[in-house]
Amino acid sequence: MTSIKKVTKKDREALLDDMHSQTAQLAVEGYDKLSRLRNAGVLLAIELGCQIDQITNNESIEDGSMEVTKLATYWGMDNTSRLYEWRNTAAAFCKTTDEITGEIVYDKSFVLEQMRDPMSNGNTLGFEHFKQLGRLTSERKRLALLKQTRKNSWSGNQLKAEIAGSSTEKSVIRSGGRKPQVPGSVFQLVQKIYSSGQQLNNFLIASEPATAAKFDEVSTDKVDDVFVEKIDDAIEQLNHLRGSIDRQVDILIEGRDHIEKVMKNTDSRTITVSATETNAEEEYITGTAIAAKVRKANAPKKKTKQIRPRKG
């Protein structure tokens, strides 16, 4: 029994150079035919998906969704979900605009190219792979996961799980993980903001030279599009953090101005109350002294007994 090993595109080209011209022609034609036979399910789904997309976007058709339902019924399908999966996937990978005419066209070359390049285990990509990848809006992430799928020989379900895990991880990164517990008092809150900001700032300052140096030392065989995407995520997170810091600074400035205003008003009231109490006391003392003088002035004078000198 002859074993079949995986060969790269470069290997196939080298083999063709070493073959007789008739053998080489048969090799190319046979490879294309075997690829079409092996991938008929994917290519047929893409082809039908393109045509379904044309129907649903045809303005002359009054009810495109009803036409899709009719198709599903005619083909013996219970519902239209598969047809819409074909349409959405085909549109994601094939639908484009002609640069000259501006009309919508469907280019299947990318799908055909990917189907010719097997995964590391020798299997080709299935429609489930394209369906899951087609749901991603980021072309960079789509290509990165496509490369990882081929490298790790992920099944459609494994790719789906990877995409779900990546989305969850990104969501956790953007939201900062679990919702932190906010201190109960404003005094604790200000202290927490200060200590957290100080800790992050110290780390960023300390890591600056190390980060630059490690980028220069990184080995090219250990980096890929997934790592580039993680760098983009880190940049996005820091930009998001910058906005959060700016908003927090504005809140703290307003809070400080409010506290200073409250303190100033409190000091003013204290001085006013103190002065009022002092004046009242002075008025009380002054009133008492005057009353005493008035009583003394109005009081009847006592007659003094005059002592006459004795005669000698």
Say what the alpha-carbon torsion angle 81, 83, 84, 86 is, to the nearest 10 degrees.
130
Tokens 């046979």 correspond to what residue?
Answer: 30
Kindly give, in sequence order, each residue whose CB lies less than 8 Å from that of residue 69, ignoring residues fewer than 6 positions away: 80
φ, ψ at 21 (rounded to 5°): -60, -40
d(CA 147, CA 132): 14
Max Cα separation, the chain? Answer: 183
Confidence of residue 5 (pLDDT cuts 50, 70, 90): very low
pTM (2 d.p.)? 0.47
pLDDT tens track for 110-167:
999 998 899 999 999 999 999 999 998 888 889 999 999 999 999 999 999 988 876 5
Domain ranges of the chain: 9-129, 130-177, 186-287
- 208-222 pLDDT, tens digit per residue, is 888 877 777 777 666
The pairing of strands 104-106 and 95-97 is antiparallel
pLDDT in tens, 77-88: 778 898 899 999
